[in-house]
Structures are given as structure tokens and as C-alpha cells.
Amino acid sequence: MSDSSSASDDVDPPWASLAAEKYLLSDSSESPDQQRRKLVRQYVKAGPERTALIDHSRTESPTAAQISSILQPWRTPAQRDTARRGTITAAWLRTCYSPDSDEKHESLIESVDMELAVDGEDRLFNDPELYDFGANWQQVFDVFPELLEPEEGYWEYLQEQQRESMEALRAFAQGGVSRAPSGLLENLSSLQGQELEDYIAMVLQSSVHAAYVIGWLVLEDEDALHTGKPLLMFLDTQGRVVRSIRVLAGDAAGIGGLWLDGSWRESTEWEDGDLGEEYKQGGACEGLLLENVRSA
């Protein structure tokens, strides 16, 4: 059952103390619903630059009208409590609520430890009143832009990884195997010729794409309930899918542990995943592909 809220001076955390809430109050030129939808999508699309959108010098509290018309209708108290944790770089999202789906849902997750899978039961988004998105699963970011906000310092780490991985890919594109990182060649004596080149290309391309991943989402859609395989999606800071793959629920749950020790980059789930549309040829991130680096 969905919960409800009322404006209160002693609400915890205080209204507009969360970064996304503060941004939602930055423009009042449209109706509250339009303002909320437009601004939260701008906030998501800004990616790593979204922190620059927040005017942290503003210290005044929101008015009662802003709370009741903009902030309060946006999220339930339970959703807001989840968002207050700041970094939520993982979630399990159920979007199919057909009449016969509840039993299938329970069967699918009966052996899944949500603490291990997505760091808590509150990250299981399972409510037909709140998450009946159908095929439009990206609407979850309209409610939880925090899903796309890495922990402090992690984006800076990723920027360094992006720079280093692109340098390695560019060097390989220009000079072939002779310009591949020496550490990568140490244990590849059994590979020769085109097989060696293909393997190096795969590893370097994977490293480039991995440097854009800030978290993951497990999608329990209609296909998942029919096949027993939810869609595991690795996401970038704008909510775009970098890679995705359908896996058994237990395998999806295991990504949490692999994320913590950094080994997800070598996992079958990542290596066998399909590129997201924006990371394919013709997508917004096509410049990261080896064939385009070679022709640049």
C-alpha cells in the first residue's frame, strides 16, 4: 500500500535539504506538475554536472505552498527516506503487475537476498501504485534521480578511468598489438595473430565502457516473470544503459558483491552483456567505439 505525507516543519530530513529537492524549487514558471517533471529530467540529463545546477548559497526554507504543491506530491515518505541515503547506485524495479504476476514475482525473488543484491529491502521497488511503468522503466529516475549519483569521490575516480582507458584504446587503434598495454600481453602467449588482436580489442573496449558505469538496475518486467530472468542493466550517470543482459535472479543478486570488490568488470554478466542503444553505432556515445576511434 502506498503511503502519504503532510507538510510539517519538523520533517526529517528538512524539506529541500536533498539536492534534487533543492533543484526542483529553482524554477516556478510552470505548473507544479510540469515544473517537477521538467526539472527532474533536466537534473538527470545533466549527469556528472548536476551538482553545478544546485545553488548551495540558498539557505531559506521552502514555503508551505512549495512543500504542498511541489515537494510533497513528488515522493512518498518511504521513497524520500530511501532517497535520503544519498548514494543508491542499485535497485530492483518491478514494472509488471498483471493479474497473475504476484505469484510469479514471489517465486522469482524467494531466494534473493536484497541486502546482497541491492543493499537493502527498501531498494526493492514493488508497488503497482508507484512503479507500474510498463515498458517505460526509465520513469524510475523521475522519482529517484539519486540512483544516478555515485558516492563522493567516485565520479572523479571514473573520470581518471575514462581518460586512461581511452588513451589505451587510442594507442591500440593507432599502433595495433605493439601499442597494447604491456600488462595485458603478459599472459597471452597462447594467442597469435587476429585472435590476439581481437582479444585485446575486446578487453580495451570493455574497459572504456566500464569507466562510464555508476551503478545497476535489476528490471523485473513482463519478460522476467515469464522467463525467470530479470534484465540486469549497467547504467551511466544519465540513466542510459551501457550494457544489459538477462540473467537468473540469483545471478543478478550476486552483482552486489562483485560491485563491492570491483570484480564486476570481469564478470560474465558484464562481458556478455549487450551494448545499450546510446553506446552503439549511431548513439550519443558512439565515439567510444574502437572503429570510430580508429577513424577519428
Grid coordinates 558512439 are at which residue? Answer: 286
Backbone φ, ψ for residue 229 (5° rounding): -125, 100
pLDDT tens readout for residues 170-222: 999 999 999 999 888 887 878 899 999 999 999 999 999 999 999 999 999 99
Q: What is the pLDDT of residue 2?
A: 42
221: Cβ–Cβ under 8 A, 6 or more apart, which residues?
A: 95, 96, 135, 137, 230, 231
DSSP run (H or E) holding 207: helix 193-210
Of the candidates 238, 240, 233, the residue with the CA atom closest to the CA atom of residue 280: 240
What CA–CA distance (Å, rounded) separates 143 from 158?
A: 25
C-alpha gyration radius of the chain: 21
Q: pTM for this structure? A: 0.92
pLDDT at 58 over 90: no
What is the residue-averaged pLDDT of the chain? 91
Amino acid letter, residue 8: S
As beta bridge partners, residue 219 has 93, 231
Burial of 154 (0-12, 13-18, 19+ CB in 10 A): middle
pLDDT tens readout for residues 116-155: 889 889 999 999 999 999 999 999 999 999 999 888 888 8
Amino acid letter, residue 128: P
63 alpha-carbon distance from chain centroid: 32
Q: What is the pLDDT of residue 167?
A: 97
What CA–CA distance (Å, rounded) separates 14 from 3?
A: 18
79: Cβ–Cβ under 8 A, 6 or more apart, which residues?
A: 130, 143, 144
How would you classify the pairing of strands 241-246 and 90-94?
Answer: unpaired
Q: What is the pLDDT of residue 4?
A: 38
* Strand-by-strand arrangement of the 215-220 sheet: 124-125, 90-94, 215-220, 231-235, 241-246, 274-275
pLDDT tens readout for residues 260-296: 899 999 999 999 999 999 999 999 999 999 999 999 8
Q: What is the mean pLDDT of residues 250-258?
A: 91
Of the candidates 239, 53, 259, the residue with the CA atom closest to the CA atom of residue 138: 239
pLDDT at 1 over 70: no
